[in-house]
Amino acid sequence: MTLAFALCLLTLFGLAGIGMPVAYSILTASFVYLATNGQGVGIAGKVLMDGLYNSFILLAVPLFIVAANIMNAGTISERLLRFCVAAVGRFRGGLGHVNVVASLIFSGMSGSAVADAAGIGKIIIGMMTRSGQYSRGYAAAITAASATIGPVIPPSIPMVLYALISNSSIGFLFLGGIVPGLFMGAVLMAMNSLISARRGFAMETPVPLRDLPGHTVNAFPALLMPAILLYGIYGGVTTPTEAAAVAAAYALLLAGLFYRALSIGALYRILVESARSSAAVGLVIGGALILNYVVASENIPNLVAEALVGLDVSPIVFLLGVNILFLVLGCILDATTIILVIIPLFLPTCRELGIDLIHFGVVAVINCMIGLITPPYGILLFVINAVTQIPLREIIGEIWAFLGVLILALLVLVLVPDIVLWLPRMFGYPG
């Protein structure tokens, strides 16, 4: 390890350890490396501009953020929730099932776990606690766990970032996330049913079946969002970036004209908040591009690949080991940092071992999403704590069962790649 790289790592972990935001820590550490090597700041600017210029797909990130924030506004979330209550609220633990199904539906509109938890999640937590059956901690925990599905089912901001660093097809990544996302929803609903039976949660008053068509019609325009996105991408009508623009425009038309739930003032606040969120993601992306230049200059990815291949590691053992590492890192790092900084180190090894990059990407994104609910740095736990004022200790006390089944689902997806690759292959993926 060179002195410059050692100082870079020391600066990165030192600043992150004292609480500086990760984006600023990465940028400062990268500048320390450049300065120690006698390279000017202009190198960082060139790397940054080249990375952005060659990454048109990054435009999808702010567009999906805008679409998610608009879909969270007004009455759209409530209409979707009424549809979910009518569909699955009649079973034991009904509002828990509603929580998961709502996340499955909303994940096809937002691509963001935080948007899911802070928007529709806040509403369903209120419904669950008002019913008198569910503790605050349980309602918050299942909300956090189900929000992890958001970036797995397309659209997905983390998958856009993975496509950026791996040169993988964003379309096939989106397709690869659909079945695993539904699988995650199924295991969460199974755990909710088990806990509901053990704790004796009472049955909800069922919505009459004759009212279900009305609720479906009411929510149908919002339910069309995922279909429009998928048809646009896989029908060859739009690129993924253009599909993100269509999603934002459709959300605006739906909320503003069809449902009449969006005022000019509310739209202004949504755009400001979306700009702030996009800027926060952009800072991490910019820092990661420069840090990746540093890592490439030190030839770290090739050294890692040679070391692992030299150990004669089988693909399954490699995948299990890397996923354990990602789970550990998820306790202390946010998902964006893991995807942009850590995952690129292992991509050359994946190619050497013949591991499919679509399978690896989907599994890695799911792993990073599980990290969002892993104490002590489970960002979704803090988001729900902030929007509901439910104490963290109550949320963490209830999260372990859902965390366990999600890790079990991750293990199944690692060991059975066909679950991820079946749908992409149906649409012509050669892997």
- Give the chain's mean pLDDT: 83
Helix residue ranges per DSSP H, 330-375: 335-337, 347-353, 357-371
What pLDDT is recorded for position 415? 94
Give the pLDDT band of residue 127 (cuts 50, 70, 90).
confident
- 272/263: higher pLDDT: 272
Distance of CA 30 to CAs 10, 24, 177, 205, 286, Å? 11, 10, 33, 58, 11
Q: Is it the case that residue 403 has pLDDT exceeding 80?
A: yes
Residue 285: is its pLDDT beyond 90? no
Each residue's pLDDT tens digit, 191-205: 999 998 888 876 767
pLDDT higher than threshold 60 for residue 399? yes
Highest mean pLDDT among 158-162, 266-270, 275-279, 360-364: 360-364
User: What is the arithmetic mean of pLDDT over 402-428?
Assistant: 94
Radius of gyration of the chain (CA): 22
**What was the pLDDT predicted at 176?**
93
Q: pLDDT class for 190, splitting at 50, 70, 90?
A: very high
Looking at residue 217, what is its pLDDT? 82
Of residues 120 and 220, more confidence is placed in 220
| pLDDT surpassing 80 at residue 412 | yes
Residue 350 has pLDDT above 80, yes or no: yes
pLDDT of residue 191: 94
pLDDT at position 65: 79
Section 272-284 average pLDDT:
82
Cα–Cα distance measured from residue 204 to residue 92, given in angstroms and rounded to the nearest whole number = 7
pLDDT for res 208? 78
pLDDT at residue 358, as a whole number: 95
Spatial CA neighbour of 184 closest among 381, 419, 379: 419
Question: What is the distance between the alpha carbons of residues 147 and 34, in angstroms, rounded to a whole number?
Answer: 39
pLDDT band at 119, cuts 50/70/90? low
pLDDT of residue 173: 92
| Dihedral (Cα; 172, 176, 181, 183), 10-degree rounding | 160
What is residue 418's predicted lDDT score, i.e. its pLDDT?
Answer: 94
| Best CA proximity match to 219, nearest among 211, 229, 208 | 211
Q: Mean pLDDT highest for which of 79-93, 123-137, 313-327, 406-420? A: 406-420
- Once rounded to an integer, what is the mean pLDDT over residues 247-258? 83
Q: For 109-118, 179-188, 208-217, which range has the lowest pLDDT when averaged over its residues?
A: 109-118
Position 222 pLDDT exceeds 80: no
DSSP characters over 266-307 = HHHHHHHHHHHHHHHHHHHHHHHHHHHHHHHHTTHHHHHHHH
Across residues 325-351, what is the average pLDDT?
85
* 409 vs 247: which has the higher pLDDT: 409
DSSP string computed for 96-120: HHHHHHHHHHHHHHH--HHHHHHTH
| Predicted pLDDT at 406 | 96
Per-residue confidence band for 162, with pLDDT thresholds at 50, 70 and 90: very high
Please, which pLDDT band fits residue 121 given cuts at 50, 70 and 90? confident
pLDDT of 419 higher than 60: yes
Alpha helices, DSSP H only, in 37-156? 41-53, 60-71, 76-88, 94-110, 113-118, 120-130, 136-147
| pLDDT-derived band at 185, boundaries 50, 70, 90 | very high
Distance CA 90, CA 97 (A): 9
Q: Shortest CA distance to 157 belongs to which of 143, 173, 144, 142?
A: 173
pTM score > 0.85 for this model?
Answer: no
Write b or e for each residue in 158-180: b if 16 or more Cβ atoms lie within 10 A of its Cβ, otherwise e.
bbbbbbbbbebbbbbbbbbbbbb
| pLDDT for 336 | 82
- Is pLDDT above 70 for 55? no
Nearest 5°: the CA angle 295, 297, 298 is 65
Average pLDDT over residues 31-47: 84
Which helix (H) or strand (E) segment holds residue 346: the answer is: none
pLDDT at 67 over 70: yes
How far apart are the C-alpha atoms of 49 and 384, rounded to whole Å?
36
